Amino acid sequence: MLDIKITRTTTPKTKPADETKLGFGKISSDHMFLMDYSVEQGWHDPRIVPYAPFQLDPACVVFHYAQELFEGMKAYRTAEGQIQLFRPECNAQRMQDSSERLCIPTIPVEDYVQAVKALVEVDKDWVPYSYGASLYIRPFVIATDVGMGVHASHTYTFCIIAFPSGAYYAEGINPVRIYVEDEYIRAAPGLTGYTKCGGNYAASIKAGEVAAQKGFAQVLWLDGVERKYVEEVGAMNIFFKIDGKVYTAACTGTVLPGVTRRSCIELLRDWGYEVIEGKLAIADIMEASRNGKLEEVFGTGTAAVISPVKELCWKNESAFIGGGVIGPVTQKLYDVMTGIQWGKVADTKGWIVPVCEG
Ligand code: COI
């Protein structure tokens, strides 16, 4: 159990009045959580302080060798005024897995969850009121040793910041266009694809920019060895409904094990769908499209929630999905997932963790 010291701001910011114009991750809340690590003291000095810039030595390891990781979560306000989290222990566990790979000392699951809850409670007035808007929470750890040697840092800072946010994509729940990337890769066996580290995203930016110039929302990554099998999309996992069955890439080291991904798989299986986690070739997806069997494509993610895809473009050929309209399974997943998160649908799975009344 952390003994968190809380220092409240004396100059609270004005909260955004129009929740339809929040954007995503643009306006920070009033406070942030901090905790430091040293070899001698372990994780120590947990505290919530007014949100403020860091002062860091320019030679910190994180700036040069990118030893860092992050998580993404949301706090939701129900119509009854309860503020709640969705499966926070899954994010805590995933952060431990990322930490192991990046030689960053792990934070116990219960401490992580306690820290997130504490920040959300202090900043509870920042949790939006509208359905579909939430407080996006960004926990991260950075390596703070000073020096040019490439080795694991001996000191770290764990920080949690939060942003009242709306939809991740400008399209909202409207279907997006995705470009299938066949030049650059995001991950390969043995690398860090399954972790949530900034380096994965840095390596993905070039392809994302090129795709954006062509009018696509994001890229779909193929496997890094054969460039044949679908893996994930920039900020989300991806699912394909083909001839009644649902396919998604297996989490075998190169794909991020998304919390929304695993929740959707559980729901789909409960509803009687066959969900296949495995290798699915992009060529087979395009073939299914030509044969009229590619029924639905959707992405899943904390930020993206459930995001329908209306077009996949691979090697100058486009597969158009569902006539540009969200499909019934995608819609049902969206309704049930957001319903559970915002407290409109009963949480029969025990996924919701209450934080406080708001
Ligand atoms: C999330 O869905 O929370 C993410 O971290 C994706 C992100 C890169 C916006």
User: Is the per-residue pLDDT at 173 higher than 90?
Assistant: no
pLDDT of amino acid 358:
87
Q: Tell me the two tokens of residue 86.
A: 């969705």
Beta bridge partners, 357, equal 82
Ligand 1 mean position, distance from CA 134 (Å): 14
Q: What is the pLDDT of residues 302-340, one digit of tens each?
A: 998 999 999 999 998 999 999 999 999 999 999 999 999
Question: pLDDT value at position 72?
Answer: 98
Ligand 1, pocket-test mutation among 160, 302, 306, 337, most atoms within 8 A of CB: 302
- Measured in residues, the chain has a length of 358
Tokens of 237: 């996992």
Does the pLDDT of residue 172 top 90, yes or no? no
pLDDT band for 64, please (50, 70, 90 cuts).
Answer: very high
pLDDT of residue 259: 98
Note the pLDDT of residue 283: 98
The CA distance from 37 to 190, in Å, is: 27
Distance CA 180, CA 211 (A): 9
pLDDT (tens digit, 9 = 90+) per residue, 95-138? 999 999 999 999 999 999 999 999 999 999 999 999 989 999 99
Handedness of CA 292, 182, 174, 235 (dihedral sign): positive
- Of 195-199, 233-237, 285-289, the poorest mean pLDDT is in 233-237
Where does the pLDDT of residue 45 fall: very low under 50, low under 70, confident under 90, or very high at 90 and above?
A: very high
Q: Judge whether residue 170 has pLDDT over 80.
A: no
pLDDT confidence bin for 169, thresholds 50/70/90: confident
Pocket (CB within 6 angstroms of ligand 1): 72, 201, 235, 301-303
Q: With a cut of 90, say whether residue 86 has pLDDT above it.
A: yes
pLDDT at 77: 98
| Residue closest by Cα to atom 5 of ligand 1 | 72
pLDDT tens-place string over residues 243-300? 999 999 999 999 999 999 999 999 999 999 999 999 999 999 999 999 999 999 999 9
Share of the chain above pLDDT 70, in %: 100
Whether 167 shows a pLDDT value over 90: the answer reads no
Ligand 1 centroid from CA 292, angstroms:
32
Q: pLDDT tens-digit profile of 138-149?
A: 999 999 999 999
Burial of residue 109 (CB within 10 Å: 0-12, 13-18, 19+) is middle
Q: What is the pLDDT of residue 294?
A: 98
Q: Would you say 96 and 268 are in contact if contact means Cβ atoms under 8 Å apart? A: no
The DSSP output letter for 248 is E
Q: Which residues contact 270 (CB under 8 A, 6 or more apart)?
A: none
What number does the ligand 1 atom closest to the CA of 302 have?
2
Residue of 170 and 339 predicted with greater confidence: 339
Cβ proximity of 152 and 67 under 8 Å: yes
Q: If pLDDT is split at 50, 70 and 90, which confidence band does 181 have?
A: very high
Pocket test for ligand 1, best of 134, 168, 263, 264 (most atoms within 8 A of CB): 168
